[in-house]
Chain A
Amino acid sequence: MNLFGRKKSAYNAKERLQLVLIHDRTDLNPGELEALKDDLIVTISRHVDIEPSGVVINVAQDGRSQRLVADIPLRSANRRRR
């Protein structure tokens, strides 16, 4: 970052490329990722009580391969019983 708090342009380039390459490599756009998330919430909720607002889905990179990473918070069973 420089004096005015603006990030250097190479940093912008790298950050933008990281996102673009994930989409290029997987053919998965942000809209589809959202739709997948909604489906996942519905399906998982049939088996276990989850916190829908806390669900996060991301594509993580490992070298040239990507994986889908879902972070799905569960609702505590204790709290429900009360």
Chain B
Amino acid sequence: MTAKVVTITSGKGGVGKTTSVANIAVALAARGQKVTCIDGDIGLRNLDVVLGLENRIVYDLVDVVEGRCRLRQAMIRDKRLPELYLIPAAQTRDKSAVSPSDMINLCNELRSEVDWILIDSPAGIERGFKNSIAAADKVLVMTNPEISAVRDADRVIGLLDAEEKGPASLVINRLNPALIKRGDMLSVDDVLDLLAIDLIGIVPEDENVLVASNRGQPLVLDSKNRAGQAFENIARRLLGEQVPFMDLDAPGLWQRLLGRK
């Protein structure tokens, strides 16, 4: 096996990176892929709680880098799926505890053991971001259809080009079809016009995202909600499938069953 290293980043915080990493990882693992996620947000770890693995942490990323444990010991296996692992971030350290070359070495060691390494980048463009993209073969830039998130995404896309990590692919999260129709939210086409990069995913706003993270149960595990499907589509596109983009106006299954749009 030679893993592909995919980093998800955004510039602005709170656009949904951690949720995406969790869901794309689960969707890939559910398709029989061997997946390891790495939480790159040292000092502010969250991927563990979104995945529901917070009670099983013994060692973390910084323990591996500083030689207190072997890589394998820091990989928490998600028991819901055959081959999904998490390497959590350290919570009591800061970004400077890890360097870009540490990340490259760690990923190189992992590459022969898994199919995918997904790295959850912290917000910002400083050390944590640089660590997270150092080993990346592919970078997904995430944004919301919102003016500050789009501006920050553009900045990150420029930095990725400069670091020769481009071309990045774009994920637009939290699209609200009703607001777009009313003319009060940037549409997918608007954002693509502005950022001028390839699109790999569009995810509608969905309250199930909140419910899923409350429970520590990634959305795609109990499918049939729109956001879960959208993340699954991203995973399939990463696997090379041609998946048409979701029609945001079509009501989801539950909305249809409940008779509301």
Q: Is A35 an interface residue (CB 8 A)?
A: no
Taking a contact as CB atoms closer than 8 A, the residue among A9, A16, A17, A64 that contacts B184 in the complex is A9
Interface size class on chain B is: 20 to 34
A21 to B196, CA, bound (A): 12
Within 8 A of A (CB), among B144-203: 147, 150-151, 154-155, 157-158, 161, 180, 182-187, 190, 193-197
Within 8 A of B (CB), among A5-40: 8-11, 13-14, 16-18, 20-21, 24-25
Residues of A within 8 A of B (CB): 2, 8-11, 13-14, 16-18, 20-21, 24-25, 61, 63-64
Given contacts A25-B158, A64-B197, A17 and B147 within 8 Å (CB-CB) = yes
Question: Inter-chain contact count A-B, CB under 8 Å?
Answer: 45
- CB-nearest residue of chain B to A62: B196
- CB-nearest residue of chain A to B167: A64
Contact A17 B151 (CB under 8 A): yes
Contact A17 B194 (CB under 8 A): yes
Given contacts A8-B184, A24-B151, A18 and B194 within 8 Å (CB-CB) = yes
**Given A10-B184, A13-B190, A64-B195, 14 more contacts at CB 8 Å?**
A8-B182, A9-B183, A10-B186, A10-B187, A11-B183, A14-B186, A14-B194, A17-B147, A17-B194, A24-B151, A24-B158, A25-B158, A64-B157, A64-B161
